[in-house]
Amino acid sequence: MRSVVDALKEEERRALAAMTPAECVALALRLGVRDLETFRLAQEPPLDVEEARRQLRQQRQQGRRPSKCLQEIAG
């Protein structure tokens, strides 16, 4: 027996497969804007858009190893 989740996943896969590359890019951009807004409003007090972007960028960098190539270039 298929679950509701399985049916929804299959429906989503079919919808994505039917999209053109341009539609996929547009969807990705819309999702990015939506997620940034969700993050921004979840902070107390809500952040402005640029501060939310800065914080997300900073979080992505945490835990990454510094690039040896860039370290060598920077001296």
For the chain, give every domain's residue range. Answer: 4-74
Q: How much of the chain, in percent, has pLDDT values that exceed 70?
A: 97
Q: How far apart are CA 38 and CA 11, in angstroms?
A: 25
d(CA 27, CA 12) in angstroms, rounded, equals 13
- Mean pLDDT of successive 10-residue stretches along the chain, which has 75 residues: 90 95 96 97 96 94 80 78
The alpha carbon of 35 is separated from its chain's Cα centroid by a whole number of angstroms, namely 7
pTM for the structure as a whole = 0.67
Which residues lie closer than 8 Å to 55 by C-beta, 6 or more apart? 39, 47
